[in-house]
Amino acid sequence: AQSVAQPEDQVNVAEGNPLTVKCTYSVSGNPYLFWYVQYPNRGLQFLLKYITGDNLVKGSYGFEAEFNKSQTSFHLKKPSALVSDSALYFCAVRDPYSSASKIIFGSGTRLSIRP
């Protein structure tokens, strides 16, 4: 069965510093991986995805993520954090070899950027 883990409940970073939000996954085949962001009392917004190809994926708002097959990780990164990046971030995985439509989300990591 597919699963995804976000080991950090909260990440605190000073504005201007680089940030990393961690994600590891488990699937039976090659995964489809995603990052979403959620602002208070809102639905989730898509940030970026990895399907195939280059391991470094660039997405919205200056975010990027690196797919590492040997470590089964897909960490979200940004070179310079903004206060407006403060939100709840979710990693998600789809196993293309299981149900074609089942997408599982991690428990979420709250990112807090201090001025």
Distance (Å, whole) CA 80 – CA 84? 12
Q: Least separation, in Å, of the C-beta of 29 and another protein?
A: 14
Q: Which stretch binds another protein (CB under 8 A): 19-27, 28-36, 62-70, 74-82?
A: 28-36
Of residues 40 through 79, those in contact with another protein by CB under 8 A are 41-46, 49, 51
Q: Which stretch binds another protein (CB under 8 A): 21-29, 63-71, 79-87, 102-110?
A: 102-110
CB neighbour list of residue 60: distance below 8 Å, 6 or more residues apart: 45, 46, 47, 48
Residues in the chain: 115
Single-letter amino acid, residue 32: Y
Q: Based on the shown chain and the rule CB under 8 A, indicate whether residue 28 belongs to the binding site for another protein.
A: no
Distance (Å, whole) CA 44 – CA 30? 24
Residues near another protein, by CB under 8 A: 32, 34, 36, 41-46, 49, 51, 88, 90, 92, 94, 99-108
